[in-house]
Structure 1
Amino acid sequence: MSAGPIRTCVACRSVRPKRELIRLVCGDDNRVRVDSTGRAPGRGAYVCRSPGCVKAVQNRGRLAHAFRKSCEAGIDLSEEVRGPWRRESR
């Protein structure tokens, strides 16, 4: 029996069940957003909920590689990702 879909964190490269990761999507405007529904159109990238992975993804150009194009991930992405992470860790 399968444990469900498996994805890889673009920051730390750990392999985890999809439900344990946060999906990021690069929109038509080249801005990275959190896809809370998991159904937004476009190429998705997954990141662990740990603050270290969120920070690494923004600083090392991992998103541009994952999305195969230049994308802008601003400071607001950190807050947007940390919001769901904090709520679900309680």
Structure 2
Amino acid sequence: MKRKKVPMRMCIGCKEMKPKNELIRIVRTTDGKIEIDPTGKKSGRGAYLCKNDKCIEASMRENQLSKALDFRVTKEMVLNIKEELLNS
């Protein structure tokens, strides 16, 4: 039986390559909203983060989320993302 290849993605916070299903996709939709994409299939520009606070903080501190999404991400947007991740 043939094994499926596991897609790898890089976390923009810690810069580690991890399997796609272990990361969270943050997406900038076509109408300019920043959302969490639990399915990983929403259309728009996406970036991947580990499921911990350190990576979220690092991505904001180094402005990596804004660069990856090609969009100015405010601190309020990051706080909303953080709250959603902690509640889920």
Place the TM-score, normalised by the shorter chain, in its bin: 0.7 to 0.9
**1:2 CA displacement:** 5.0
- When structure 1 is superposed on structure 2, of 49-58 and 10-19 the one drifting more is 49-58
Structure 1 length-normalised TM? 0.78
Q: Determine what percentage of the aligned residue pairs are the same residue.
A: 32
**Rg larger for:** 2
Instruction: Tell me the distance in 2 between the aligned counterparts of 1:3 and 1:79.
Output: 32
Which segments of 5 or more consecutive residues in structure 2 lack a partner in the other structure? none
Q: Return the match for 2:86 from 82, 85, 88.
A: 82
Residue 7 of structure 1 aligns with an amino acid whose one-letter code is: R
Q: Secondary structure at the match of 2:35?
A: strand
Q: Secondary structure at the match of 1:76?
A: helix
Q: How much has 1:39 moved relative to structure 2?
A: 1.0
Q: Unmatched 5+ residue regions in structure 1?
A: 85-90
Give me the CA root mean square deviation. Answer: 1.8
Residue 8 of structure 2 contacts residue 19 of structure 2 at CA under 8 Å; is this kept in 1? yes
1:88 aligned residue: none
Match of 1:8 in 2: 10
CA distances 1:34-77 after superposition (whole Å, capped 9, x unpaired): 10111111111000011101122233211111112323433111
